[in-house]
Amino acid sequence: MKVVFHLFLQSATLGRKRAFLTIAAIAWGTVAILLLLSFGEGLKQQLGKNSRAMGENIGVMWMSETTKAWKGMNPGRPIRVRIDDIPLLASRLPELESLIGEAIQWRTNLTAGKKTVAGRVKGVNYPYGEARKQYPVAGGRFLSPLDEAERRRVIFLGNELAEDLFGRDDPVGQTLLVANAPFTVIGVMQKKTQMGAYAGMDKDHSIVPISTWKALFGRPTVNNLVIRVRDGSKMKDAIARTREVIAAKYGFDPSDERALPTWDTVESQKINQNVSTGIQVFLGIIGALTLLIGGVGVANIMYAVVKERTREIGVKMALGAKAGWITGPFVLEGLSYTLVGGAAGMLIATLLVLGMSFIPTDGNKVMEFLGTPKLSLPIGVATASILGVIGLLAGYFPARRAASIDPAATLRYE
């Protein structure tokens, strides 16, 4: 090893320019792989966050028609869960965190002062706030059990609807006419980037207690139910169990899934997650290929060096250099260019990612969707190992060529 090092230091093989180009190629490849991976990580985290913005561990169950005959009744019978039945159904489903009714009135006139907007008014049971992440901006609140019990005329607004109606004013405490009935605004939803929605985006809906809603619009049934479980892995069972309880109450085949079509968001988040991971792996592979090209560049230059120095290698062999002393300096050289380039690339990439983290995601539509690139230890470790392997290979193959040189043939004087 000492001999290898002595020889390595003695033979500054690459000219400065070639060494620089080689290092730059590796640095570029490292920057590419790190940026792609951290971009993928940021995207993954952002997609995860956005897809959870609608709510976690929830399922959405719509009202539809039976598709199977049941106890002498023909298929095609509509099933409509009544608002008033929800407490009873919930009591039969203790395994659920909550069973929530959601009734929707589309294009209802909402009037604040002189301003009138046609908005969507939902009546929901109060646990909707937690389940569907209707977090209020400070100073306001979501619906309470009392609001529901006392059929209060209170309303919670999506942030964009609130802005449409009240502009920059604080809506909380103000009066809003809903279909000409006066309501008090009790809260405004915090802004969120929502990915995945049914019945429109949360930012432009408005919410009143489901009891109030029933009295106001005179319709006794829900549009859909929101099911929430404590443990996401129990979602499938919970959906089946809920269908069973409703089937028993309303009289249809509990195996008739299409009577109550359901969106299992736990399942779709899992798929989202897999897609993000897939994207990240794909980006990583592209990055690794870029780096590999850099490595091939190193190997190529080293091959050229081996060729240029064939006679020198032959001389060293004649003087008694063992194979390892011939190959060692080449491997060391390939490795050192790769590592220097890799270190430079890591530094540049880290600075770039740090720089990008100062770009705010809020208010920037692209960034809200893509997220900010994130460097992590696993990404660093993965990149470093890829670099190490490429460095070793970039040195190893040229070195092997060098060791296979036949000294007698090389030193022949023609």
Partner 1 sequence: MSSRQEMTRETTPPASGRPIIEMVGIRKVYDTGKVQVEALKGVDLRIEKGEFVAIVGPSGSGKSTLMNLVGCLDTPSGGDYFIGGEKVAGLSRDQLADVRNRRVGFVFQAFNLLPQISAFENVEMPLVFGGVPPKVRRAKVAELLERVGLGDRMDHKPTELSGGQMQRVAIARALAMDPDIVLADEPTGNLDTTSGTDIMGVFLDLWKQGSTLVVITHDMALARRASRIVEIRDGRIVSDRPAEQAA
Ligand X SMILES: Nc1ncnc2c1ncn2[C@@H]1O[C@H](COP(=O)(O)OP(=O)(O)O)[C@@H](O)[C@H]1O
1 touching partner 1, by CB under 8 A? no
Smaller CB distance to partner 1: residue 154 or 403?
A: 403
φ, ψ for residue 201, nearest 5 deg: -85, 150
Q: Which of 79, 157, 321, 405 binds partner 1 (CB under 8 A)?
A: 321
The footprint of ligand X (CB under 6 A) covers 409, 412
411 binds, among ligand X, partner 1, none (CB under 5 to 8 A by kind): partner 1
Token couple for 145: 């059990």
Q: Find the largest Cα–Cα distance for the chain.
A: 109
Q: Which does 358 bind (CB under 5 to 8 A by kind): ligand X, partner 1, none?
A: none
Instruction: Give φ, ψ of 37 to 5 degrees.
Output: -65, -40
Q: What is the SS3 assignment for 141?
A: coil
What is the bridge-based pairing of β-strands 205-209 and 181-188? unpaired
Q: To the nearest whole angstrom, how small is the minimum distance from the Cβ of residue 322 to ligand X? A: 22
Residue in 74, 320, 362, 365 binding partner 1, rule: CB under 8 A: 320
Q: What's the token pair of residue 245?
A: 């309880």
Among 196, 380, 388, 407, binds partner 1 (CB under 8 A): 407
Asked whether position 315 contacts partner 1 by CB under 8 A, the answer is yes
Which single residue is written with the structure tokens 């001389």? 315
Which CB atom, from 362 or from 414, has the smaller least distance to ligand X? 414
Q: Give the nearer residue to partner 1 in terms of CB position, either 95 or 406.
A: 406
Q: How far is the CB of 408 from ligand X (least distance, A)?
A: 7
Residue whose CB is less far from partner 1, 364 or 404: 404
Decide whether 203 or 401 has the Cβ nearer to partner 1: 401
Residue among 318, 245, 233, 219 at smallest CA distance from 94? 245
Count other C-beta atoms under 10 Å from residue 180's C-beta. Answer: 8
Q: Which is nearer to ligand X, 114 or 412 (CB)?
A: 412
Residue 64 contacts residue 260 (beta carbons within 8 Å): yes
Q: Find which of ligand X, partner 1, none residue 381 binds, CB within 5 to 8 Å per kind.
A: none
Residue with smaller CB distance to ligand X, 365 or 412? 412
Binding of partner 1 by 412 (CB under 8 A): yes
Which residue among 26, 36, 317, 353 contacts partner 1 (CB under 8 A)? 317
Spatial separation of the C-alpha atoms in residues 175 and 63, rounded to whole Å: 33
Contact 206, 157 (CB under 8 A): yes
CB-based burial label for 31 (10 Å; 0-12, 13-18, 19+): buried
Alpha-carbon distances of 45 from 69, 120, 322, rounded to whole Å: 46, 31, 53
For residue 98, list its beta bridge partners. Answer: 228
179 binds partner 1 (CB under 8 A): no
In the complex, minimum distance from the CB of residue 30 to ligand X, in angstroms, rounded to a whole number: 44
Residue 282's CB: how many other CB atoms inside 10 A? 12
Closest distance to ligand X from the beta carbon of 410 (Å): 9
Q: Which of residues 5-24 bind partner 1 (CB under 8 A)?
A: 6-7, 10-12
Structure tokens at 178: 């809903």
Stretch that binds partner 1, among 136-144, 316-324, 336-344, 360-368 (CB under 8 A): 316-324
Q: Which residue has the tokens 């569907």?
A: 132
Residue of 107, 118, 366, 413 that binds partner 1 (CB under 8 A): 413
Closest approach, Cβ 409 to ligand X, in A, equals 4
